[in-house]
């Protein structure tokens, strides 16, 4: 609390024997400024309620959280204990209007804690996690509130609701049941305790993972060891070392996946192995060990599922997903896994042949292909097969061209939207860019933020999230952010992206379009508020435009000369699109299987901390997916998707499930003329704007006209059996 304003008076006692000295005038200290207002307590006055980042301070969040929870408790209590008979408006719509302060604080905190964290925010996250879990439980398990919801649900056929309102009622009822609203008071108390413990453990897991990535960089003593990296990458490694007080050295920082980008470039095999081991063993042992947290999280989730009447947590989680049950997920993982493993073993044989050939030519001993070798020799194989490598391609993928002439260009061609940069709006980091997005008729769509660079205060990976959701009920338009983790370069150096990074930019922008184009009445059903195995569908689909000839030809221009990528190189990039398809599919399916295996355990069957890694290995072996040169995309100790409570627990399979829908959609676009405004308008109207106003399977079939077909995905991934001629 700021001290009250205090005025200090200075005076001098006049001496009688010195009457000639004039009295010193009274000097009043300027009044202290009034207490600073917490900017989170009221809606932002910036366009579309864009957050006032220049005013928000860490100290604002705790009082904001506490005030937000208190305010929502009062709002919900008034709804639950109203003497008026329950109606859709005074119960369901009223709930949709509640919690505006808490939502505003949670969105600002969650995004900043992910993108620009510090010790204060992380400590507050740990403090608030169990309080927020208890707050959510108190609302969803409130007997009086659920009685009103349940009564309306029983009468739903006679309420005369429009389809979107009927879906909203369905979602509120399902949320209450899944949260334990029908349990006995004793079981509710147990469930609340489990949820509180889980929230704390999941927060600790994420903080350990973030710290392990930050601290796990590999220190290099000699620049000679970095042979193969570009000048920009070497400069970035030197800068990373300097920020850690290691002047005269270099640091290879870690990204959140098992395999690191530098493994495809570094010629020093010993350094490649060091980087791989640092990456694959982080958060496994030592001060930030996550294995004990994993064991406890899995145990608590199994107990939670059992309390709610499900045999396993996977059964509980998938009952509300498009996949419906674990059997469906396991089947698609097994079917795709077999094809991926077969292809990966063929790819491995090709790489081993290169290793053996080089050893013979150099008169050195050959060695068996290891995980830290794959990317390096795959790059050589790719170059030999298609006569190009990343070093030739990256100069054509300068970041500004990729975004403006690629990502934005494709969206303009498909949907007629345009992007205007706003340099006057405040940001939380100097590298963040802000854009207004407008429809072809000039009307506002929303505000888009791009935060593309890696930094120590930022979690790994790539993601999209909202600061403000679209909702007609609340008069809101979306404010959205896309996050990537592109390694920064030295000042004055161009940001040259790998094709994987380019594809990721298109992927995350697909999520952004799903949020920007939301056109729903209710916030609960808006934008990306869909199950994980559907939310990845628009993003997976949007990836296709990264390699579409019309789009690639517009953005793939040399950063120095401005010349378009030569057609010959362009054709090779397209031809190489499916290169390494077995590896890429297998590393993902391995991770998805690890997730499912943990969450298909019943109460009492979960491993202890010492058995976590052995269980992971056994799960892959039992599924027939074990292949040493191809490690899972994530090992359990840094598998944040699954162990932080972000919605992907027993849900990492969602990417492949969604990709089936995405490749079917790509086939539909190709059959109907490709990159056209007419096609984009259909997809926007039938999928991107609809959120969860209908169930995902219904929305997809309404667009596609039939059930999903796995064929286009197998073909796209290069996993299908070649047709006989």
For the segment 614-665, what is each residue's pLDDT rounded down to a tens digit?
999 999 999 999 999 999 999 999 999 999 988 899 999 999 989 999 999 9
Of the candidates 467, 520, 523, the residue with the CA atom closest to the CA atom of residue 47? 467
**DSSP for residue 28:** E
Vertex 400: Cα angle to 397 and 402 (nearest 5): 45
Residue 508 appears among annotated catalytic residues:
yes
Burial letters 329-350, b for 16+ CB under 10 A, else e: bbebbeebbebbbebbeebbee
Dihedral Cα 530, 536, 539, 544, nearest 10 deg: -140
The catalytically annotated residue of 206, 508, 587, 600 is 508
Residue for token pair 């490709």? 674
Angle between helices 581-599 and 326-362 (to 10 degrees): 140
Query: Strands 463-468 and 479-486, how do they pair?
Result: antiparallel
User: Is residue 683 within 8 Å of 661, Cβ to Cβ?
Assistant: no
Residue 387 has what pLDDT? Answer: 83
Give the span between the Cα atoms of 182 and 168, in whole angstroms. 19
Q: Name residues of the chain where pLDDT drops below 50.
A: 1-22, 724-725
Vertex 385: Cα angle to 383 and 390 (nearest 5): 25
Of the candidates 640, 626, 590, the residue with the CA atom closest to the CA atom of residue 294? 640
Residue 391 has what pLDDT? Answer: 83
3-state secondary structure of 421: strand
**Phi, psi dihedrals of residue 254, rounded to the nearest 5°:** -100, 140
Q: What is the DSSP string of 388-405?
A: --HHHHGGGBBHHHHIII
**DSSP for residue 229:** B
Give the span between the Cα atoms of 261 and 530, in whole angstroms. 31
User: Is residue 609 within 8 Å of 615, Cβ to Cβ?
Assistant: no
- State the distance between the two ends of the chain, measured CA to CA, in whole angstroms: 79
Give the span between the Cα atoms of 484 and 454, in whole angstroms. 7
Burial letters 290-311, b for 16+ CB under 10 A, else e: bbebbbbbbbbbbbbbbbbebe
Kindly give, in sequence order, each residue whose CB lies less than 8 Å from that of residue 471, ignoring residues fewer than 6 positions away: 96, 520, 521, 522, 523, 526
Domains, the chain, ranges and CATH? 47-182 (1.20.1050.40), 216-280 (no CATH), 395-579 (1.10.1370.40)
Q: What is the pLDDT of residues 362-414, one digit of tens each?
A: 999 999 999 999 999 999 998 889 888 778 899 999 999 999 999 999 999 99
Q: What is the DSSP string of 560-607?
A: TT-PBPPHHHHHHHHHGGGTTHHHHHHHHHHHHHHHHHHHTPPTT---
């Amino acid at each position: 609390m700021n001290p009250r304003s205090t005025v200090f008076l200075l005076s001098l006692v006049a001496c009688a024997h010195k009457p000639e000295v004039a009295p010193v005038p009274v000097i009043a200290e300027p009044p202290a400024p009034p207490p600073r207002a917490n900017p989170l307590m009221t809606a932002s006055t910036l366009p579309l309620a864009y957050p006032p980042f220049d005013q928000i301070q860490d100290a604002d969040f705790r009082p904001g959280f506490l005030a937000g929870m208190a305010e929502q408790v009062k709002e919900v209590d008034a709804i639950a204990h109203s003497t008026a008979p329950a109606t859709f408006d005074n119960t369901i719509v009223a709930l949709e209007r509640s919690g505006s302060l808490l939502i505003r604080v949670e969105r600002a905190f969650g995004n900043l804690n992910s993108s620009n964290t510090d010790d204060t925010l992380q400590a507050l996250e740990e403090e608030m996690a169990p309080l927020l879990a208890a707050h959510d439980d108190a609302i969803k398990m409130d007997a009086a509130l659920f009685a009103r919801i349940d009564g309306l649900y029983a009468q739903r056929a006679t309420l005369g609701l429009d389809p979107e309102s009927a879906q909203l009622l369905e979602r509120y009822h399902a949320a209450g049941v899944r949260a334990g609203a029908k349990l006995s008071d004793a079981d509710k108390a147990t469930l609340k305790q489990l949820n509180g413990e889980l929230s704390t453990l999941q927060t600790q897991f994420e903080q350990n993972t973030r710290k392990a990535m930050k601290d796990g960089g590999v220190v290099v003593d000699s620049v000679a060891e970095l042979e193969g990296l570009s000048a920009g990458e070497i400069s970035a490694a030197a800068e990373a070392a300097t920020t850690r007080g290691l002047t005269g050295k270099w640091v290879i920082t870690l990204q959140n996946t098992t395999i690191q980008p530098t493994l495809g470039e570094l010629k020093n095999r010993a350094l490649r192995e060091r980087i791989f081991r640092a990456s694959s063993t982080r958060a496994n042992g030592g001060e930030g060990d996550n294995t004990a947290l994993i064991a406890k999280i899995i145990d608590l989730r199994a107990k939670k599922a059992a309390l709610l009447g499900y045999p396993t947590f996977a059964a509980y989680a998938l009952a509300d997903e498009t996949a419906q049950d674990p059997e469906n997920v396991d089947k698609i993982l097994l079917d795709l896994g077999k094809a991926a493993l077969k292809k990966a073993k063929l790819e491995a044989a090709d790489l081993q042949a290169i290793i053996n050939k080089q050893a013979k030519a150099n008169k050195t001993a050959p060695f068996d292909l290891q995980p830290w070798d794959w990317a390096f020799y795959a790059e050589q194989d790719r170059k030999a097969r298609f006569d190009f490598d990343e070093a030739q391609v990256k100069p054509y993928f300068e970041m500004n061209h990729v975004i403006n002439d690629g990502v934005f260009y494709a969206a303009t061609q498909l949907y007629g939207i345009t992007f205007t940069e706003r340099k006057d709006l405040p940001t939380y980091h100097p590298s963040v860019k802000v854009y207004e997005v407008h429809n072809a008729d000039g009307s506002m769509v929303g505000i888009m933020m791009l935060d593309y660079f890696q930094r120590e205060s930022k979690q790994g990976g790539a993601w999209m999230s909202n600061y403000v959701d679209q909702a007609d009920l609340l008069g809101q338009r979306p404010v959205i952010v896309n996050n990537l983790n592109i390694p920064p370069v030295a000042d004055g150096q161009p940001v040259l992206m790998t094709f994987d990074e380019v594809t990721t930019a298109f992927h995350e922008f697909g999520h952004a379009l799903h949020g920007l184009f939301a056109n729903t009445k209710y916030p609960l059903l808006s934008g990306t508020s869909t199950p994980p195995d559907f939310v990845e569908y628009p993003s997976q689909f949007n990836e296709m435009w990264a390699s579409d000839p019309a789009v690639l030809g517009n953005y793939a221009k040399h950063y120095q000369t401005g010349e378009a990528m030569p057609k010959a190189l362009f054709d090779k990039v397209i031809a190489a699109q499916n290169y390494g398809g077995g590896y890429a599919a297998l590393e993902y399916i391995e991770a998805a299987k690890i997730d499912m295996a943990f969450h298909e355990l019943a109460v009492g069957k979960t491993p202890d901390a010492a058995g976590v890694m052995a269980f992971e290995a056994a799960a892959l072996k039992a599924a027939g997916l074990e292949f040493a040169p191809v490690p899972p995309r994530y090992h359990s100790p840094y598998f944040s998707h699954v162990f932080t409570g972000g919605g992907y627990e027993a849900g990492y399979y969602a990417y492949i499930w969604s990709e089936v829908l995405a490749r079917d959609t790509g086939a539909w676009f190709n059959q109907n003329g490709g990159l056209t405004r007419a096609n984009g308008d259909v997809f926007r109207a039938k999928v991107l704007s609809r959120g969860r106003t209908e169930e995902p399977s219904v929305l997809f079939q309404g667009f596609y006209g039939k059930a999903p077909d796995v064929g286009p995905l197998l073909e796209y991934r290069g996993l299908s059996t070649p047709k006989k001629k």
